Chain A
């Protein structure tokens, strides 16, 4: 007879207890961008909304950026670090494949024996990590999970590519997710479409690029991405509300991945959100920082007072893969 296995269960739900973010010190204005590419401040602003972005310096490695964002998230969450028993880092720019960044971060923070691993889900990384944290907690596999989205996209940006150079930037955002009998994280709506893997992609394998004395860079075919984001992803955002049982009128805040203000504008037309909904626009000064845009925007909206603790926010990330994920969350 098969021996019966004891299983664990967790609380009914989870919630974000605190968020934190880190932006590198160096500000790169559109004016400076235009010394590298043939463009103009007006063109960049009109097409993307971006006024400036941050590029990390040599003394701001990804490991430092994730630690800074995490410390702030832990401070805001007011949790005991001893209670954090899982760490998930979402990034596509941790350029050392092994070991993962998460255990290094955990050690830097002095966490004791947490599960720690990285995920690669591009600009949807934070929402993927949140879905995992929520599931780990509800399954009883973890009590508190530190999730981080962090990128140094400037390491993989072709600074002379006039279609992408001004978009990509660096930043980190973190959140602490804890158990909650009242759910503060709604059901994830997520998916992927690998048939469009070539529309946002690293140009070549490191094995090919590095021996030839160069770094791979990020390529994006803007038009199909724009179309996908403003149709399929806008529909996915509607589906998130539906699956969470939230009417647009009940929503307080909308934090889409900060890919391009024009995508946000189009999503808003599609979603027909009421005017009272606060919409994240942090792309104007942080650019597109992939996995980190959502927690950075959330932290900034809470810090500025534009969004408040306890409010209901729709978050959705989407990007290379193509992959996407989103949830409704209660703001910490």
Chain B
């Protein structure tokens, strides 16, 4: 089972790949849109990359509630449990 930090690190790599955000900036308290400047199209890409990477399903209705990096990590942890 991946730890919170491991999930955050892998998510950070995805966010870096899709939106060019520095890996070290992708911290749990950061908002995707406000702090990391990730727009809605990049968010779509990040969500499906997470689905592939973590073998989880993130429906659109849930995806729109993932405001911060911490929200996404917690969702992935719950979905994997």
List 15 additional contacts besides A226-B41, A227-B44, A230-B45; criterion CB under 8 Å. A46-B39, A47-B39, A47-B41, A223-B44, A223-B60, A226-B44, A226-B45, A227-B48, A230-B48, A231-B48, A262-B41, A266-B18, A266-B45, A269-B17, A269-B18
Taking CB atoms, residues of chain A closer than 8 Å to B18 are 266, 269
CB contact list, A208-258 vs B, under 8 A:
223, 226-227, 230-231
Q: How far is the CB of B72 from chain A (nearest CB, A)?
A: 17
Which residues of A does B touch, CB under 8 Å? 46-47, 223, 226-227, 230-231, 262, 266, 269
Complex-state Cα separation, A229 to B41, whole angstroms: 12
Taking CB atoms, residues of chain B closer than 8 Å to A231 are 48
Complex-state Cα separation, A266 to B41, whole angstroms: 10
Question: B interface, by DSSP: helix, strand, loop or mixed?
Answer: helix
Complex-state Cα separation, A122 to B41, whole angstroms: 23
Question: A interface, by DSSP: helix, strand, loop or mixed?
Answer: helix
Size band of the interface chain B makes with A:
under 10
Complex-state Cα separation, A22 to B17, whole angstroms: 37
Taking CB atoms, residues of chain A closer than 8 Å to B60 are 223
Taking CB atoms, residues of chain B closer than 8 Å to A47 are 39, 41
Nearest residue, chain A, Cβ from B52: A231
Nearest residue, chain A, Cβ from B41: A262
* 1/0 contact string of B18-53 vs chain A (CB within 8 Å): 100000000000000000000101001100100000
Taking CB atoms, residues of chain B closer than 8 Å to A223 are 44, 60
Complex-state Cα separation, A223 to B63, whole angstroms: 12
14 contacts between A and B (CB under 8 A): A46-B39, A47-B39, A47-B41, A223-B60, A226-B41, A226-B44, A226-B45, A227-B48, A230-B45, A230-B48, A231-B48, A266-B18, A266-B45, A269-B17
